[in-house]
Amino acid sequence: MNTFTFQSPILLNLLLVIPCIVLWYLKRGPQVRSAKILFPTLKPAIIGNSSHSPFFIFFLLRLLTLFLIIVALARPVRLKPVVENIPEKQVAIVLAIDVSKSMLAEDLKPNRLLALKAIASNFIDKRPKDLIGLTIYAGDSFTQCPLTNDHSLLKSLLYDASSEWLADGTAIGMGLASAVNRLKESGTEGKVIVLMTDGENNAGTIDPFKAAELAQKYKIKLYTIGIGTEGMAPFPIYDNHGQKEYYNVPVSIDEPLLKSIAQRTNGNYFRAKSNKDLEAIYQKIDILQSSKPQVKSYLSLEDWHLPFTVAAFGLLLTEIVLKYTLLRSFT
């Protein structure tokens, strides 16, 4: 709904001078009759009893001109509601996944790594427009998939991810550095790393804090996820006959480290103690890094002082034309 208002409404008080001028005209008009009357900036003119005399016409024109000038000075504006569709922006995301042997613990079902793969796959499906890549790490790191919008290929490589070709251990710094290396040249508006681990940094040649500083330098936001229950977790071991046995192993996640490196990039740390927790975390990250189109509503100001100014100028021009044409003999 459009509404009119004024940017300098106090100047509208000047309109009070108009009734004063009208009262002056009504008081002086009957007295002058056929006499000559001096009017500001107007040459002496003859006025009779009729309201259609030249004096009355010029008086009316100047009164209207004064009204329009005062309104124009008060800066009339029209408030117009505007709805703007903000287009979808593309985000580049690298999933940095810990694939060390400890990720086979079964406190998440069927185990930490398979649960992570399934939930990360759903996350990928929800972001069809984004470039997403995959880095895996254990005692070393490896780019399993560079940034791509071929999400079918990405999910296939995600399910194939394992520590088969990597030394055992947890090189968080190297996993993070590999992800940063993939994102630093990205031209997208947003750059994000989602790093997941169930342990402590105990391998590799790159310090996690140095890797976080690199992420900060290239304006990459880091979300870290610690995966594992509290206390002990069942870990499967196979004997010589292929029989699976379970041993309880301690869950040791370096949460202070994961919190600190995330905070350096204005990111967040999350703890996933179950499949449900991990799914909720990915949903939250999806919301935090929303790239969906948005609708923005606001009021625009449309300046209307120019039409009033032009109208005032037009009335002055009309007076001049009348003065030297149709009403010339009366001046």
In the chain, what are the domains? 3-80+299-330 (no CATH), 91-292 (3.40.50.410)
**Residue 210 β-bridge partners:** none
Note whether 105 and 327 are within 8 A (CB): no
Taking only the tens of pLDDT, the chain with its 331 residues reads 567 788 888 988 888 988 888 888 787 755 544 444 444 444 444 444 444 467 778 888 888 999 999 988 988 888 887 776 555 678 999 999 999 999 999 999 999 999 999 999 999 999 988 999 999 999 999 999 999 999 999 999 999 999 888 998 999 999 999 999 999 988 887 899 999 999 999 999 999 999 999 999 999 999 999 999 999 999 999 888 878 899 999 999 999 999 999 999 999 999 999 999 999 999 999 988 876 555 666 677 778 888 888 998 988 888 888 877 776 655 5
pLDDT of residue 37: 41
In whole angstroms, give the CA distance from residue 156 to residue 298: 44
Identify the burial level of 244 via C-beta atoms within 10 angstroms of its C-beta, where 0-12 means exposed, 13-18 middle and 19 or more buried.
Answer: exposed
Instruction: Tell me how far CA of residue 15 lies from CA of 68, 74, 304, 313, 316, in angstroms.
Output: 10, 11, 18, 18, 18
Note whether 250 and 219 are within 8 A (CB): no
